[in-house]
Amino acid sequence: MGAQLVDRFGRIATDLRISLTDRCNLRCSYCMPPEGLPWLPSPDVLTDDEVVRLTGVAIRLLGVREVRFTGGEPLIRRGLVDIVRRTSQLDPRPEISLTTNGIGLTRLAGPLREAGLDRINVSLDSLSTETFRELTRRDRWTDVVDGLAAAEGAGLTPVKVNAVLMRGVNETEAPDLLAWCLERGYELRFIEQMPLDAHHRWSRSVMVTADEILERLRERFDLTPADPRQRGSAPAESFLVDGGPARVGIIASVTRPFCGDCDRVRLTADGQVRNCLFAREESDLRGALRAGADDADLARRWRAAVATKQPGHGIDDPTFLQPTRPMSAIGG
Ligand code: SAM
Ligand code: SF4
């Protein structure tokens, strides 16, 4: 293995998040506008071979150990199962996970598991079909819930569920969502809403904070912090529910940032390295790849891209500027 992906502050990126498409079949209001976005033109999107080639560089030459496929909605990427299979054949084999809205899992959970997928996170923000439809602007609640069951059935366990709470929409559902997940053996994690919506409507003063989520959960459950030494670079703060072993996680990117322990690096669907969700700059690997760069050259460019990572996202700084790409185009 060559040099690792180290930044000026000594953080080492070992967790690669790859967006396989910027397109999606939902329109979650914290993520996308109702009309969708100007999608990347197909020729700009990395081909399956290019994704696998760049992943191989990250694994073999840069010390990356975990690969998470995301989007947009990764299940609508035609070559997904094959990409997962080829990624699982890389040496050393990385841990492979997927973040998805769950639509299509009834068909794909088995083939993905068989291809080598290790773990899955499914996003579900509401137990009410009405609220789900309002929030995602699509009537697909049953597809998501069936998808979760299919993931469980395929052995992608423990199935993790991601939920974002929005004021006036679903913030009162926190304890119900937890009870529902506990009943089914799913591991629930709440994610604080971040300023990554395409409309730039996020506001610190109305967002639902980790403190508020914990307060709502504690009305029904006894929560005790799980051993923080086990957290490592994991973004979720973990709590034992009613003494454990069941847990609930809170990813408080805004109010309790974990930038100092960040071990992530991102590759967009069009082959740009982003050293942070909130980065203002990207480094183009696709151009170099298509111009014939060899693996060593790609690795050098990748290291240079990570070296300039900022110490933190600076959301609380008055000069904070939301990135131009919304979450769906970066890869959440
Ligand atoms: N479509 C897939 C999904 O929804 O799981 C993968 C991509 S999505 C961008 C990844 C995760 O980011 C989802 O759990 C979603 O809820 C979360 N997300 C999207 N926009 C967000 C925002 N503005 N703040 C916090 N989380 C957000
Ligand atoms: Fe699609 Fe995921 Fe964004 Fe929702 S959060 S619109 S499912 S990419």
pLDDT in tens, 284-306: 999 999 999 999 999 999 999 99
Strand partners for 92: none
The helix/strand/coil state of 205 is coil
Report d(CA 30, CA 35) in Å as an integer. Answer: 14
Categorize the per-residue pLDDT at 51 as very low, low, confident or very high, splitting at 50, 70 and 90. Answer: very high
Distance of CA 122 from the midpoint of ligand 2 (Å): 11
Q: Determine the pLDDT at residue 277.
A: 82
* pLDDT score at 228: 67
State the burial class of residue 118 (Cβ atoms within 10 Å of its Cβ: 0-12, 13-18, 19+). Answer: middle
Assign 79 to helix, strand or coil.
coil
Kind and range of the H or E run holding 105: helix 105-115
* Most confident segment among 32-46, 105-119, 185-199, 258-272: 105-119
Q: Whose CA is nearest to atom 4 of ligand 1?
A: 101
Task: Classify residue 314 by its DSSP letter.
Answer: -
12 pairs with which residues across the strands? 6
State the distance from the centre of ligand 2 to the C-alpha of 278, rounded, in angstroms.
Answer: 17
Task: Identify the burial level of 304 via C-beta atoms within 10 angstroms of its C-beta, where 0-12 means exposed, 13-18 middle and 19 or more buried.
Answer: exposed
Query: Is the shortest distance between the CB of 101 and ligand 2 below 6 Å?
Result: yes
Beta bridge partners of 70: 19
**CA diameter of the chain:** 59
Q: Tokens in use for 267?
A: 């590759």
Average pLDDT over residues 133-161: 98
Separation of CA 293 and ligand 1 centre (Å): 33
Q: Which residue's alpha carbon is at the smallest distance from atom 12 of ligand 1?
A: 332
**Residue 237 in contact with ligand 2 by CB distance below 6 A:** no
Where do the DSSP E strands lie in the chain? 5-6, 12-13, 15-19, 66-70, 95-100, 119-123, 160-164, 187-191, 223-225, 237-241, 247-251, 264-267, 272-274, 283-284
Report the separation in Å between the CA atom of 37 and the middle of ligand 2, taken as the mean of its atom positions: 12
Ligand minimally distant from the alpha carbon of residue 196? 1
Residue 208 per-residue DSSP state: P
Which tokens belong to 310?
A: 């900022």
Is pLDDT of 78 > 80?
A: yes
pLDDT digits (tens, 9 = 90+) for 227-283: 766 666 677 899 999 999 999 999 998 898 888 888 999 999 999 999 888 888 889
Q: Quote the pTM value.
A: 0.95
Write down all domains in the chain, each with its CATH number in brackets. 5-330 (3.20.20.70)
Instruction: Tokens for 175, please give them.
Output: 């304890």
Residue recorded with tokens 């291809």:
115
Distance of CA 2 to the CA centre of its chain: 27
